[in-house]
Structure formats: C-alpha cells, structure tokens
C-alpha cells in the first residue's frame, strides 16, 4: 500500500474528478429538475452504489489479468500485456476472456456499451442545454419559442456527436489511449472548478474572476505539464507527456492556480455584491406551442406553475434541511474515503494477508450486490404505485388529469382526444 505511482495517481484522480463532477452541466440539470426531497438521497445512494463498480472491478479483474498472463487461455499468451494494452484498459476484457471465454467477451462488450451510452447521453444533454439556453437563446434569439429551442437542442446533439466521433478517431490514430486522456482530463478542465464553485456560493466574486481565471489557469496548467515533461525526458512525445510527473504538475497547477488569480481580479476590478435575485428571475422557455401540439391543457399547466410557486417557502425549508444533511455527509464520506481508509494503510506500509484480502474482496462483492439493489430493484419498488397506475391506464384506455394538488383523477380517453393538426 506504499506506492509512489499509486499516490501520484491518487492525486491526479482526485483533481480530474473534481473537474468532471463540479463542471458537468448534467449534474446541475438533474439537481435543479429533481424534487429537493428526492435529489439528495438519490445522489448519495447513487454515489455509494457507483463506488463499488471501479473498486471491485479493478480488484478482481485487474489481479486476475495479472495472475492469468501465463495461462494459455490468456489472449496475449505467451507474451505479457504491453503498456499500451494496460493504458487502453484491456486488462478487464483480457481477464474476462481468460475466465469465461466468449461469454466473458460478450459480457464485457455489453457492460462497456451500457457505460459509454449512459455517460455520452449525459454529455449530449449537458452540451445541448448549454448551447441552446446559455448561447442560442441568450445571445441570438431571446424570444425563441419552445419548439425552436427543442429543434436547436436536437441539432446540437447531432453536430456534437459527429464532432466527438471525429476527435475520437483522430486520437486513436495518433496513439492517444483512454489512460492518457484520463490523466490529461484534469489538466484541461480543473482550472474552472474553484471559479465555478465560488460563483454558486460566494457573492463577492466578480465576472472577470469567474471568466478569466479558468482560461489563465488552463494555460498555466498546460505550460506546467509540457515544461515538466520536457525537463524530465528532454523531449515531448506521447510516452513522456503521459507519464506521472508531468501529469501531476499539470493537474495540480490547474486546480490551484485560480487561488492566485481570483483574489487578484477581485482586488483589481472590485468585489461583486450579487444578491442572487437574477438567478431567481431566470425565466422558463415559452413552450405553449409544444403543449398545444402534445394535446395537454395549457390552463392546467398554468395551474401547476401557480401551485409550485405557492410551495416556494416550503421548498426553501426543505432545501435548507437538505443542505445540512449534504454538508454532514460530505464531511463524513470525504474523511472516510480519503483519510481514514487509505492513509493508515499507506503510512504503515501494510501488506495484505490472505485473510485480509479475502475480507477485502468479500466486502466488495457484498457492496456490489447492494448497489444492484439500490439502482436496479429499489427504484422499481419505490415507483410501484406509479407503474401500476400507468399500466392500468394503458390497459383500460384512460389517462390521468394533470396533477395540481391531491390525487390524479382518471378519465376516459379515445381517439377524439388526439389533437388535430392545423
């Protein structure tokens, strides 16, 4: 447990994941759209459920690949895995094939496909949301209708998907692996972590600090990354720039450089006194045309909006309570996963005994089954009433009225309810 490379990756991993979480617009969209009562436990349970996947997968299949390299069933036998194979993440499929044959390959392909489509879906939604609402509607068509915004959102998804595909092919043919991109991620994006966080929690940060700090921080991070690589290896190539020391220098510079830039810009241009009112005044898109074409009752939708506004104070009370719980859980989980668990093992140079390793893997297996229950079974049980109501509506040809307050009332429906096109 006392590995210099492991500690370096530990730091790089934390910096990079600060960027992927704090700067992922998908998280903000989901948190804002969800009900305060359900958003907090959803994120906590989801985070704890997710942790078992990389932990157990790396422990079991990573060590299995290492142990089975000398087995004739291993795909690279009699050769060992190359560094390029390891960096490309092929240890997992190699181990799965050695253990389960074609079934292992199919299972790995299915798992990777589901993971990639899920994550790419989130990125498509986040990118289209930023372009549609923060750029297109803000600067080009402030009075854009809901229909035009939906069209623009779909167009943005298509264009973004094509661009990402082209970039991916280019990276592949230039020898840039997934491991390289994972380490580089923090260098490119983590300079925006602190400015984005302060934008939400500190009224004093001005627009210049929020806008310029990420740009200057990224420039400093790239400079530190390449300068360290040049000094370490004497040249700049994929192997050298992808090594631990240059990546560590770039990641740390990206995360910490705004600590210098933000105070400087605040002192030069003055501290802001943001009152959060403009955030409360953000208006929703005009979607009456979409509502009309979908056959929904516009008046009922307005009643829903009025009812939601009346519950604003109650929502604020729930949010304050959720904030206290979230703060407490953040401190507990951070100390547990980053200090109390790894640091004693690192400081004591602990070497796993067979009973300890057995317990380690057993806890991981139990955890992964709890994750399956949390994300695969519990949501179905929690939504059982809604699922039953929807199934009943489909079978009996009924649909519920729009819920303003209280229970929905089922009403008969027929082809006459289908809106006619003008």
Selection from 324, 326, 308, 313 nearest residue 403 by Cα? 308
Question: Which pLDDT belongs to residue 200?
Answer: 85
- pLDDT band (50, 70, 90) for residue 405: very low
Question: Which pLDDT belongs to residue 1?
Answer: 61
- Least trusted range by pLDDT, from 26-40, 122-136, 313-327: 26-40
On the question of pLDDT at 239 being above 50, the answer is yes
SS (H, E, C) the chain: CCCHHHHHHHHHHHHHHHHHHHCCHHHHHHHHHCCHHHHHHHHHHHHHHHHHHHHHHHHHHHHHHHHHCCCCCCCCCCCCCCHHHHHCCCHHHHHHHHHHCHHHHHHHHHHHHHHHHHHHHHHHHHHHHHHHHHHHHHHHCCCCEHHHHHHHHHHHHHHHHHHHHHHHHHHHHCCCCHHHHHHHHHHHHHHHHHHHHHHHHCCCCCHHHHHHHHHHHHHHHHHHHHHHHHHHHCCCCHHHHCCHHHHHHHHHHHHHCHHHHHHHHHHHHCCCCCCCHHHHCCCCCECHHHHHHHCCCHHHHHHHHHHHHHCHHHHHHHHHHHHHHHHHHHHHHHHHHHHHCHHHHHHCCCCCCHHHHHHHHHHHHHHHHHHHHHHHHHHHHHCHHHHHHHHHHHHHCEEECCCCCCCCCEEECCHHHCCCCC
Question: Which pLDDT belongs to residue 369?
Answer: 94
On the question of pLDDT at 36 being above 50, the answer is yes
Question: Which pLDDT belongs to residue 109?
Answer: 93
Question: Which pLDDT belongs to residue 298?
Answer: 55
Question: Which pLDDT belongs to residue 411?
Answer: 44
Question: Which pLDDT belongs to residue 274?
Answer: 82
On the question of pLDDT at 416 being above 50, the answer is no
On the question of pLDDT at 284 being above 60, the answer is no
Mean pLDDT (whole number) for 130-150: 86
Question: Which pLDDT belongs to residue 307?
Answer: 58
Mean pLDDT (whole number) for 351-358: 90
Q: Give me the percent of the chain exceeding a pLDDT of 70.
A: 85
Model pLDDT for residues 180-231, shown as the tens digit of each residue: 999 999 999 999 999 999 998 888 999 999 999 999 999 999 999 999 999 9
C-alpha 84 chain-centroid distance: 26
Question: Which pLDDT belongs to residue 248?
Answer: 95
- What is the spatial distance between Cα 195 and Cα 392, in angstroms, rounded to a whole number? 49
Mean pLDDT (whole number) for 77-106: 89
On the question of pLDDT at 172 being above 80, the answer is yes
Between 85 and 315, the more confident residue is 85
Q: Give me the percent of the chain exceeding a pLDDT of 90.
A: 36
- pLDDT band (50, 70, 90) for residue 393: confident
On the question of pLDDT at 281 being above 60, the answer is yes
Question: Which pLDDT belongs to residue 286?
Answer: 54
The residue ranges of every structural domain in the chain are: 315-351
On the question of pLDDT at 91 being above 70, the answer is yes
Question: Which pLDDT belongs to residue 332?
Answer: 93
Question: Which pLDDT belongs to residue 283?
Answer: 56
Between 307 and 77, the more confident residue is 77
Average pLDDT, the chain: 84
How far apart, in Å, are the Cα atoms of 275 and each of 27, 138, 385? 24, 21, 42
Question: Which pLDDT belongs to residue 267?
Answer: 94
Model pLDDT for residues 241-276, shown as the tens digit of each residue: 989 999 999 999 999 999 999 999 999 999 988 877
On the question of pLDDT at 77 being above 70, the answer is yes
SS (H, E, C) 18-58: HHHHHCCHHHHHHHHHCCHHHHHHHHHHHHHHHHHHHHHHH
SS (H, E, C) 114-155: HHHHHHHHHHHHHHHHHHHHHHHHHHHCCCCEHHHHHHHHHH
């Amino acid at each position: 447990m006392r590995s210099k490379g492991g500690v370096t990756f530990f730091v790089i991993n934390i910096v990079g994941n600060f960027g992927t979480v704090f700067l992922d617009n998908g998280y903000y969209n989901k948190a804002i759209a969800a009900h305060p009562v359900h958003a907090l436990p959803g994120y906590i349970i989801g985070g704890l459920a997710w942790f078992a996947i990389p932990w157990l997968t790396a422990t079991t299949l990573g060590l299995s690949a290492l142990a089975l390299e000398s087995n004739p069933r291993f795909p690279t036998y009699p050769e060992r895995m190359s560094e390029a194979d390891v960096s490309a993440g092929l240890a997992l499929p190699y181990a799965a094939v050695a253990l389960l044959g074609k079934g292992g390959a199919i299972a790995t392909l299915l798992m990777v496909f589901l993971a990639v489509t899920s994550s790419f879906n989130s990125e498509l939604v986040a990118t289209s949301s930023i372009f549609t609402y923060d750029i297109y509607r803000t600067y080009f068509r402030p009075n854009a209708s809901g229909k035009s915004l939906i069209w623009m959102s779909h167009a943005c998804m298509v264009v973004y998907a094509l661009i990402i595909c082209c970039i991916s092919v280019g990276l592949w043919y230039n020898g840039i692996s997934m491991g390289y991109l994972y380490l580089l991620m923090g260098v490119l994006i983590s300079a925006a972590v602190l400015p984005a966080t302060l934008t939400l929690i500190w009224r004093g940060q001005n627009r210049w600090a929020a806008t310029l700090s990420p740009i200057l921080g990224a420039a400093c991070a790239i400079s530190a990354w390449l300068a360290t690589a040049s000094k370490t290896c004497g040249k700049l190539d994929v192997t050298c720039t992808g090594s631990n020391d240059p990546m560590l220098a770039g990641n740390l510079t990206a995360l910490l450089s705004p600590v210098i830039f933000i105070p400087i810009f605040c002192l030069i241009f003055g501290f802001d006194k943001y009152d959060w009112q403009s955030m409360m005044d953000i208006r929703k898109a005009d979607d009456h045309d979409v509502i009309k074409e979908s056959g929904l009752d516009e008046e009922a939708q307005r009643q829903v909006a009025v009812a939601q506004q009346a519950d604003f104070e109650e929502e604020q009370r729930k949010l304050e309570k959720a904030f206290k719980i979230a703060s407490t859980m953040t401190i507990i989980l951070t100390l547990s996963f980053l200090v109390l668990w790894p640091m004693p093992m690192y400081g004591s140079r602990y070497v796993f005994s067979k009973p300890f390793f057995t317990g380690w893997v057993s806890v991981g297996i139990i955890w992964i089954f709890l994750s399956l229950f949390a994300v695969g079974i519990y949501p179905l049980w929690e939504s059982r009433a809604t699922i039953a109501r929807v199934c009943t509506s489909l079978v009996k040809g009924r649909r519920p009225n729009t819920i303003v307050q209280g229970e929905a009332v089922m009403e008969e429906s027929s082809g006459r309810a289908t809106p006619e096109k003008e």
